[in-house]
A = this chain, B = another copy of it.
Amino acid sequence: MATKKIFIEACFGRETEYTPVWLMRQAGRYLSEYMAVRKKAGSFLDLCHNPELSAEVTLQPVDILGVDSAILFSDILVVPNEMGMELNFLTGEGPQFSKPLQTDEDLENLDMSASQKLNYVYETIKIVKNKLPENKALIGFAGSPWTLATYMIEGEGTKTYSKVKKVIYQNPDYMHKLLNKLSIVVEEYLENQIKAGADAIQIFDSWASALEESAYFEFSWNYMKKISANLKKKYPEIPIILFPKGIGAYLDKIDGDFDVFGVDWGTPMRLAHEKLGDRYVLQGNLEPSRLYSREAIDSGIDEILKITNGKRHIFNLGHGMLPDLDRENVKYLVKLVQNKTRKK
């Protein structure tokens, strides 16, 4: 009988010996081991393109922190990049596409065979799976169609989202065409990750909160939901986690066929538990800035565990790890959650 992976068991709401924990952006700059590999690789994109080194940084948090799941090291923007959009990561400024989408022709020119060009990702997954202890899981991931589309139209990070909002309110058909194309590619990409060995999938909808409620369900949630439903039909044994960041006021309308709802820190766990806890396992949601202080870690963990009570819950941050955190505090957090929730 195969060793059970506690993270996967928890995704399906089964009882586990303790509440599993992993941390969004657990492989990253706060680890000197990551910085060393990053230096060896060259640019950030060079690192994403290098399966050996990507696998190495994917595994680091499992070894160093003792988290219960690894998450593939990559970037959501490799997808539009392989659809033909030139991508640069500028120091201190984040990602930038040199030619954002504007015309119908730009849309036509997107390469729909992108999922076949992402072999370096599938290769990374295979290497990680060979090295990962049997009781630990590997999470594959992609960006949601909406979040990817936003980057592709804005060209870079934005505060106002004014370009993409002009499109949705002036030319919604254009947006739906783009979202349909992205949905096809993202679904193929995630299916290939599963075939390469990913044990679970998370879809990151990082820019969910850019949209008012009606627009959110029309332009984002419905597309994520469809991808998830299609994957669940083919791979019922692979848990799907959806993480829409910043839509705690829209929980009344959340539905669909997926396993785990990722709760961001702006959504009180109490509210998520009340609205979604009977239908989905909840993941989250410690405010990442609490990692600046052990007292804040202690009280934050207690607040969350008081609500979830060790049931149908995967512990995580409510957003990605910050770059300037003290690794000892991160290790402290992981151990504390595992110990506090351990069944006697």
Which A residues are closer than 8 A to B by beta carbons? 160-162, 165-166, 168-170, 209, 212-215, 246-252, 265-268, 271, 287, 289-290, 292-293, 295-296, 303, 318, 322, 324
Contact with A265, one of B212, B289, B290 (Cβ below 8 angstroms)? B212
Evaluate contact between B160 and A292: CB separation under 8 angstroms.
no
A249-B271, A250-B268, A292-B170 given as contacts; is B165 within 8 A of A318 (CB)? no
Instruction: Report the nearest B residue to A160, measured CB to CB.
Output: B322
Q: How far is the CB of A174 from chain B (nearest CB, A)?
A: 13
Q: How far is the CA of A289 from the CA of B268 in the complex (A)?
A: 28
Copies in the complex: 2
Chain B contacts of A290 at CB under 8 A?
A: 169
Q: Which 7 A-B pairs have the closest CB atoms?
A: A248-B249, A165-B289, A169-B296, A212-B287, A169-B293, A213-B268, A169-B292
Evaluate contact between A289 and B324: CB separation under 8 angstroms.
no
Q: How far is the CB of A274 from chain B (nearest CB, A)?
A: 9
Q: How far is the CA of A129 from the CA of B216 in the complex (A)?
A: 42
Instruction: Report the nearest B residue to A214, measured CB to CB.
Output: B303
Q: How far is the CA of A293 from the CA of B173 in the complex (A)?
A: 14
Chain B contacts of A165 at CB under 8 A?
A: 289, 292
Evaluate contact between A209 and B249: CB separation under 8 angstroms.
no
Chain B contacts of A267 at CB under 8 A?
A: 249
Most chain B beta-carbon contacts within 10 A, residue among A212, A247, A268, A271: A212
Evaluate contact between B170 and A215: CB separation under 8 angstroms.
no
15 A-B pairs (CB sep. < 8 Å): A162-B289, A162-B322, A165-B289, A169-B293, A170-B296, A209-B246, A212-B287, A213-B268, A214-B303, A215-B287, A246-B266, A247-B266, A248-B249, A249-B249, A249-B271
Name 19 extra pairs, CB < 8 A, besides A212-B265, A247-B266. A161-B289, A162-B322, A165-B292, A166-B289, A166-B292, A169-B289, A169-B290, A169-B295, A169-B296, A170-B293, A209-B246, A212-B268, A212-B318, A215-B287, A246-B266, A248-B248, A248-B249, A249-B267, A250-B268
